[in-house]
Structure 1
Amino acid sequence: MPFLQVNIVVPSSHAELLSDELMEVGALSTAIEDAYAGTDKEQPIFDEPNEPSAEIWEQSLIIAMFDADTDVDAAVAALPANMRPVKEAYTITEVADQDWVKLTQSQFDPIHVSERLWITPTWHEAPTDGSINIELDPGLAFGTGSHPTTFLCLRWLDANMPQGATVLDYGCGSGILAITAAKLGASHVVGVDIDKQAIRASHDNAAQNNVSIDVYLPDAQPEGQFDVVVANILANPLRMLGQMLAGRVKNGGQIVLSGILAEQVDEISALYQQWFDMKPATIQDGWACLFGTKRA
């Protein structure tokens, strides 16, 4: 069955309230976007690298979906008078029904990380040429391999992790780095995350990939040191957790840090230089990955 899509451009200060009112008059769903998305006036509000951020868009586009048999003009007329747009201020288009699951899946293709390493959603056929494949579907926990920080850590693991190493993935999210370490030949892998959803996702994703990893909340994590510690989080927690993370790395072991903006590299590298011989960062799309060897 088709749907009717109603687009309304309003000042952002009114967008959430009008969105709620549209649900009250029969909308099946509403979404709010930057009215200038895709143009020179588009405004980032989520701290994209190298871009100034606004607290709110100047103008918002409300997208409301209604059943095909809805009298949209009557629904709009039922809105409170102080929020009711004039006829010329909104557009109505018919949207054909689709297989929304397939449409969503079509947006996620396999990711070729390195010559031998792939991240492949389960609905795609995995490579069969001897490559190492990580089966991972987009979910609630962070980390599908597409973000530069995850990608940089994956490439480091593929190129540098010693066979049989013990690995700690601190801030494991979906478990992608921990699972990759296990598939690359780590002898023991531990993941830690503050989010219970991430713990669940990491366990499920590890089972899907036929590898064993141990995943804990921070308060429950076991003591001990590791050959490799990976922390793909953000600069502020990396600042606060520096001494703790350094203490989890064996002398001569490796630390890998990401979630860092390019302009934060010098500060974070200097901080970890207390314990590690830090190497030059690798940069991708404004994000950085730092790594170093722990001094005895």
Structure 2
Amino acid sequence: MPGSELYETFMTLHTRDGGLVMPNAWDGLSALMLAEAGFEAIATSSAAFAATLGRSDGRHEVTLGEHLEHARLFGQLTGLPVNGDFEDGYGDTPEDVAASVEAAVASGLAGIGIEDTSGNPDQPIRDFDDAVNRMRSAVNAARRRIVVTGRTDNFIQQRPDLDDTIRRLTAFAEVGADVLYAPYPPDLDALTAIVTAVAPTPVNVLISPADKVLTVAELRKAGVKRISLGPALYTHAMGALEQAAKALVTGDLTAATTGISFERISELLARGKN
């Protein structure tokens, strides 16, 4: 599917009534399982992907090439639109960010997320002007061939400044970001304020506000257009593995070996090949 057509298809999911739930996969099998469940689009999770490689998220420990290959696999296996959670755009300069967007388009991605993070733990959020310039560069490179999500990580980085968060998201929308995203606003009132301030640009929420997990229906009522899960499904699966490992240490083979059958896994893999 050509980039412009893929862009329109993916944006339609954001602008329709109810928007979409877009879960994040971490390997080929998880992508196939999410497609089998009926989701219309899936995403990578930079945190989950980094963890599968034994690396940390947000510290430039994963390369652009590695993430592109990871995201391409999801699209090849499922045929679904794939949104890439591409941290700060994998580059120090706005030109680097533009090159990453071009590479994502060439790889067939439907969407790409660009954060205002820096990878520097001493100054994790980029200055306002730098963040906006990088977003402008991403949008100019995208040229409506890939959906650009503009993201600020103020809340995740312990900067509980709602006014600055809205200022950044509004500026991202003004330079052309298609979707806006500020993970974990403190509560529903803050989320509603964000949605209202940037309307009509669609807003993504990571699971819910920080204080309470809401239902999909409650988030939609608040005006959210896209719900993503970040590494939550991955950590859920790892939680099951941790419990199985604890059971195995005590000698409980039965508890340690429950789960889907390998025949089921083979069936899903065969569908991906077809």
TM over 0.5: no
Q: TM-score, normalised by structure 1?
A: 0.30
> Highest CA radius of gyration, 1 or 2?
1
Q: TM-score, normalised by structure 2?
A: 0.31
Which structure's relative contact order is higher, taking Cα pairs within 8 Å and 6+ residues apart?
A: 2
Bigger strand fraction: 1
